[in-house]
Structure 1
Amino acid sequence: MDAMIILQMILAGIGGAVLYTLIGIAPGTDETAVLAPVTIALALSGVSPYVILAFFISAIVAKKLTDSIPVAVAGIPGGVMAAPMVEHAMVLKKHGLPDVSIKKMASGSVIGTLVSIPASFLIANAILPYADVISKHAGLIFFLGAVFLALMTNNKILSLLIIVPFAILIQGLRHLYWGLEIVPPETTVFVSFFLGITIGPIVVTLFDLLNKDARKKIPFLGKKEISVKKSDKVKGIPNPFNILTKKESATSALGSLIGSVTFFLSPVGMTVFLGEFLTRHIKDPVKRASRAISTMDGLTNASYISGTLIPLIAIGLPLSPMAIGPAAGLFNAPPVFTPEHNIHHILSMSEIMLATIIGAVIALLITFYITIKFASEICAFVFKYIPHEALIGLFAGLVVMLAFMDAGWINIFGTFLIAFVSGILFRNGVNYGVMFMILYAAPWMLGWF
């Protein structure tokens, strides 16, 4: 690896940290919707795998560091993974401590990063001898994963019943494209279908707005006033271990380690379960909330990093909710990355480690410092000047472009069909994980017929 590649990784880490510091603060930005399209676009544009990985790790660390800021100041999660922390953050806000809430969550996130990276490499090493066996049965594993995640959803019956029909929809569109000779038979349309699932809820909401009767039922709230309390200035370089108490640091580290080990489970489910389990014995509401948010933020960061790194290092297949969602572009972005040829096959373990460390360190140095020093000011700026709709529109436009690149004009309509069906299913209790697993398992499943 030459000095130019290292310089590019450093620049990519800086770019990822700055960009996703702002995106993380924007309310309601789903991790998959804002990370997956950019990662896939970088892969398809021919960017070096070293640079893509450094960018992605920096982006996810920065996103997880900052998506707790709108939770603390306004009770609005900056991402799906920040939602479980709203209740505890509101306890601290009620006691006039939103600045403490921000610092606790950001510090927990730093501990999650520091714990999960070495833990991920150790766990991946332990799994490595079984990688070939796992790879040979990938289709079956994805199918079982879909069944397992379906049993964990709110609407278990619908999630189970939809597995085969949704697989038929996906494979049916692929066979249509092959039959019309839009794409060669050896080409499998994947990227646009994956992104169609991610924008499903947005597409369904847009169609609702086109329906006059449905539009009349939507409450119009007008302008929403959000008050942002200015936090006390922190002098010098902030230290997360000084911000957290010893017990908070310990539970954050423990939660992060457990989150790394359970990388294959739902990050949201583990965050809620462990956050409550490790803090329910604390009677004082402020102490309990402080311990809960620092633990939860550490666990979410750890589960995201480990859920990316462990499958990437050991197997090369996206066998975790994180890998099959936001990090999917690292595993499968045809024709550049495929399940048989992706970052797992291109980079050695030491190269993956170097790119990971560069991305994580840069994000921690930039984003943690900015979060602790200027959290309230940045949050006020984003709430005032960066519309949520603009970000969603940007990523939806990127999906349309990638759909056209995948299989031409007809695939834009095919992708919207996938998005519409996915959005309806998501609205009725079928989560992203089930649909992503079906997307991967579809060829294997319908091969039985």
Structure 2
Amino acid sequence: MDPVIIIQIVIAAILGAGLYTLIGIAPGTDETAVLAPVTIALVLLDFSPYVILAFFMSAIVAKKLTDSIPVAVAGIPGGVMSAPMVEHAMTLKEHGLPDQSIKKMSSGSVIGTLVAIPLSFIVGSLIIPHADVISEHSGLIFTLGAVFLALLAKNKILSLLIIIPFGILLQGLQHLYWGLGVIPEDTTIFVSFFLGITIGPIVISLIELIDKNHRDSLPFLGKKEIQIKNTKKEKGLPNPFKILNKKESGSSALGSVIGTLTFFLTPVGMTVFIGEFTTRHIKDPVKRASRALATMDGVTNASYISGTLIPLIAIGLPLSPMAIGPAAGLFNAPPEFTPEHNIHHLLTPVEMLIVSVIGAVIALLITYFIIIRYAQNIVRFVFKYIPHEALIGLFAGLVVMLAYMDAGFLNIFGTLLVAFVAGLLYKNGVNYGVMFMVLYAAPWLLGLFG
């Protein structure tokens, strides 16, 4: 890589860390909803693959570092992956230690990052010899993945039953566009359908608010008051291995290794399982909560990083919940990226390692330092001046723009239909992973009936 590319990578990493440090603190910002649209937009704007990967790695590390803050301060998940940590964070808050929650979680994230990146490249390298076989049977793998994730969903029966009908909806819209001449027959729609699934719950909520009877039935909460306790500022460069004791560091590292090796499983499920398994023997509630938070945050970071890097290095197909969710744009964002032409094909494993390390290290240096030193100031700013609705509106608008770019005006309504159905399914216990897997599996799965 020449010096110009290195400079671009560093700038992209700094921008990613800065942007997602703020976004991560905003409560309720789903990882897929805030990462996928921006990543896909960068791909479609024809940025260098080095820049895109550096931005994404920096963004995901920064997002996972900062989404612990609203959990510790207000008991509100900063994202889907931080939801399992609410109970333990509230335990520390009840004991007057919200600042300890932030430090333990963010330090666990640092350990998760340090473990996941090198281990992901080792695992990815071991899978490379089998990449051709996996690619050849990708349709079957995606279908089996949908079934597997359906069995892990809250509503298992509905999740299994909708696999074929939801595939019919997606492929039916595709064939409708071909039949009407909206898009050429050699063009496939992916980006807008993927983002339609992503914003499904938001669309359902907005549609429900149109109904006056539903609006009137909602409780009026008024302004919510959140108290933030003042704590002393840390001096010098924070060291996660001093903030965590030896047992917490070891538990976080072990959890990160397991989270990396199980990259193909649901990150939320593994976070809950590993966090509870490694701390259930601890009687003291403060010690148990502290170790659980450090371990769980390490697992989440490791799961997200490995779920992105291992499929990217080994196969170039999104064969993990992370890869089919927030990181989908790195694998498939037509016409720039396709399963046959994406970062896996454009960068060598060594280049991916260098870019990933630069992006992650810059995010750690910037975001971890800011969290430990200035978390309270940032929390006050975000909670006071950045409405949650503004972020939702921003990303929803980006989805509409990308839907229009995909297949014109008609596709805005097609994407809205996908979002509406996906939102209903999500509300009734069908998780994102099942629907994303169906999106990838639908051409092969429905082809069996031809």
Whether the aligned pair in 2 keeps the contact of 1:104 and 1:293 (CA below 8 Å) is yes
User: Counterpart of 1:57 in structure 2: which amino acid?
Assistant: M
In 2, distance between residues paired with 1:276 and 1:376? 28
In 2, distance between residues paired with 1:445 and 1:366? 45
Aligned to 2:40: 40
In 2, distance between residues paired with 1:249 and 1:294? 8
User: Counterpart of 2:279 in structure 1: which amino acid?
Assistant: T
Aligned to 1:151: 151
In 2, distance between residues paired with 1:127 and 1:218? 51
Deviations 1:73-111 (A, max 9, x none): 110110000000000000000000011110010000000
Aligned to 2:322: 322
- Tell me the TM-score normalised to structure 2 length: 0.99
Matched, 1:182 2:182: yes
Whether the aligned pair in 2 keeps the contact of 1:27 and 1:77 (CA below 8 Å) is yes
Aligned to 2:286: 286
User: Counterpart of 1:428 in structure 2: which amino acid?
Assistant: N
* 1:229 CA displacement: 1.0
Percent of residue pairs identical: 76
Aligned to 1:444: 444
In 2, distance between residues paired with 1:89 and 1:209? 32
Give matches, 1:303-342, under 5 Å: 303-342=303-342
In 2, distance between residues paired with 1:213 and 1:4? 58
Give matches, 1:39-438, under 5 Å: 39-438=39-438
Tell which deviates more after alignment, 223-232 or 429-438.
223-232
In 2, distance between residues paired with 1:417 and 1:385? 33
Tell which deviates more after alignment, 210-219 or 93-102.
210-219
SS in 1 for 2:263: coil
Structure 1 unmatched ranges of 5 or more: none
User: Counterpart of 1:180 in structure 2: which amino acid?
Assistant: L
Whether the aligned pair in 2 keeps the contact of 1:99 and 1:232 (CA below 8 Å) is no
Deviations 1:33-62 (A, max 9, x none): 000000000000010000000000000000
Whether the aligned pair in 2 keeps the contact of 1:17 and 1:58 (CA below 8 Å) is yes
Whether the aligned pair in 2 keeps the contact of 1:72 and 1:89 (CA below 8 Å) is yes
* 1:231 CA displacement: 2.2
How well do the aligned residues superpose, as a CA RMSD in angstroms? 0.5
Whether the aligned pair in 2 keeps the contact of 1:230 and 1:377 (CA below 8 Å) is no
Structure 2 unmatched ranges of 5 or more: none
In 2, distance between residues paired with 1:231 and 1:185? 61
Structure 1 stretches of 4+ with a deviation exceeding 4 A read none
* 1:135 CA displacement: 0.3
In 1, distance between residues paired with 2:126 and 2:390? 44
In 2, distance between residues paired with 1:145 and 1:68? 30
In 2, distance between residues paired with 1:122 and 1:427? 38
User: Counterpart of 2:350 in structure 1: which amino acid?
Assistant: S
In 2, distance between residues paired with 1:401 and 1:28? 23
In 2, distance between residues paired with 1:207 and 1:94? 37
Whether the aligned pair in 2 keeps the contact of 1:116 and 1:305 (CA below 8 Å) is yes
In 2, distance between residues paired with 1:146 and 1:350? 32
In 2, distance between residues paired with 1:184 and 1:157? 37
